[in-house]
Every structure is written in C-alpha cells, then in structure tokens.
Amino acid sequence: MTVLGLLPAALTLALAVALGLLRTPLHPRWSARLLALVAATTATAAAGTALFVAVNYAAGLDPAAAGRLPEWALFGDDAPVPAWLGVPAAVLTALNLAGTARLAARWRGDVAAARRAAVLDTGDLVAMAVPGRDGGVLVSRGLLASLTPDQLRVVFEHEASHLRHRHHRHLALGALAAATLPPLRPLNRRLRFAVERWADEDAAERLADRALVARTIAHVALNRTARPGPLAAFADGPVVERVRALLADPPRQNPITGPVALAGTGVTTSGLASLALQLDRALVFVLQ
C-alpha cells in the first residue's frame, strides 16, 4: 500500500467540497442530480478506502485471519499497513457504520410516523412529501386553515414534484454523505436547496404563476415554527433565495448542458471511486 492509494478518494473529496461551495449554473433539476451523484461517489470512495485500509491493517495484525479473506479484499503487495494509517482508518470505518445506522433508523422512523397520519393535528404550517407505497402529501390543519385554495394548489404541486421525481433518494444520498464525511455538509445543504428549487420550478410551470408560488413560500416560511427534518418540507432551504429566483425569469432548460455536465461528472467521480480500491494494484503492475 502506498500513500498514492489515497489519491483517488482525496481528489473526489476535493471535487465534492468545491461543488458544495460553488453555485452550478444549471437548471435546478440537473444541479440536484449532479450533486446527488457526487455525494454518492464521494462517500463510496472515501468510506470504501477507509474500510479497505482498515481490513488490510487488521489482516497484518493477524496473518492467520488474513488467509480467510478473499483475494480482492487484500492489497496487491505484502507490505503491512502502518499503524498511523490503519488505526485512523479503523476508527473512521466504525464511525461511518455507526453514523449510517443512526441515520437510517432516524429516516425510517420519521417516514413511518408520517405515513400513519393523513393530516397533522397542529396549528403550525407543515407540508411534506412522504415517499413509499403508503406515502403522499402530508399537511397540517394549520396549513389548511391559513392558505387560500390557490396557495394550497401551489403546496400540493410542489410536494407532488418531490414524489414524482423521487427526491427522497437525492436527499438520502446527501444526508448519508454528510453523515460519513463532515466536509460534505455544505454540499448536502446545496443539494437540499437544489431539490426545493426543482420542485418550485415544477409548481410554477404547472400553475403558470411564478409570483403566486413565491408568495406562498414566503407566507408559509414567515408563519411556521417547525424545524425541517430529513424529508422534503415545503419551506425548507434559503427561502429568500427561492423567492428571488421565482420572481426572476425562469432558468434556462438547455437540453444539452445539463446531461453533458451530469455525464462528465459521473464518469470522473465514478472512475475515481472505482480507482480508489484498485490504484495500489495498478501501481504494483506498472512498477513490475
């Protein structure tokens, strides 16, 4: 194992951190897809590399156990992994597994609780998309009483967009990446914002009234007290930016730029993620 074996994961992480800080000049639907893809491949590369190093470090401590491991799980050379690298990798792997389990349990619990209620018995203004066969759009009594029929149409069109495009999968990938890699929290926040903007634009297009969507978002945000959870909620994200975007011209829907950017980023990050577990063997092959 050489230090260069960590290079693919480091490059993927650097790209993900940069995308979390920069604004992508794409339609929200392509921004969300791109950010979700980068979150998934970065988490795979970084967590996979840590697991790979931890397994090989443990194998060096117990050669007898190493003989029972499959060949693909071991490095291409016999050099032991040093403790300064193996111990942090083992600790990081344990933290990743614990964080993933905790996040999955929280997500499962929130979704199950939401599915049991058709209307929330609260005066707060709450609306969210609940995924799954028994899911749908969940709203509160306070929201139903506070909004006009036209504003309720905005809410239901927005939440229907989340369900139609399965935005919970995008959010799950971002939350998982942020849970395993704290430097990806800005990327997760930008991903959540892109998902909300995607649903905003869908609602504005279907209702043909961008100003109505903007006013509805502002009204709900100003009158609610509930904090957002893991599911997509109507007034999530930077509300001021969402309202400003809706009061401006709609974003361009270039049929080429978005797919090309997504495909190019996917090839790059997926290649790095695959290489993260194979670079050491490749270097051995080249040097022989």
Show the low-confidence residues of the chain (pLDDT under 70).
1-5, 63-79, 115-119, 226-233, 275-288
Give every strand in the sheet of 119-120, ordered side by side: 119-120, 136-140, 127-130
CB atoms within 10 A of CB 25: 11
Asked whether 131 and 111 are in contact (CB, 8 A), the reply is yes
Note the pLDDT of residue 285.
40
CA distance 51 to 81: 13
Note the pLDDT of residue 230.
63
Note the pLDDT of residue 9.
82
CA distance 151 to 220: 10
DSSP states of 87-135 as a string?
Answer: HHHHHHHHHHHHHHHHHHHHHHHHHHHHHT-SEE--SS--EEEE-STT-
Asked whether 147 and 216 are in contact (CB, 8 A), the reply is yes
CB atoms within 10 A of CB 215: 17
Note the pLDDT of residue 123.
85
Distances (CA, A) of 171 to 78, 83, 168: 41, 36, 5
Note the pLDDT of residue 187.
96
Residue with token string 């111990």: 87
Note the pLDDT of residue 172.
92
Note the pLDDT of residue 282.
44
Asked whether 20 and 184 are in contact (CB, 8 A), the reply is yes
Note the pLDDT of residue 287.
35
Tokens of 127: 């609306």
Note the pLDDT of residue 250.
92
Residue with token string 């609602």: 203
- Within the chain, strands assigned E span 119-120, 127-130, 136-140
Q: Of 247, 248, 235, 251, whose CA–CA distance to 158 is shortest?
A: 235
Q: Of 35, 205, 228, 197, whose CA–CA distance to 126 is shortest?
A: 228
Distances (CA, A) of 281 to 61, 65, 86, 268: 21, 21, 18, 20
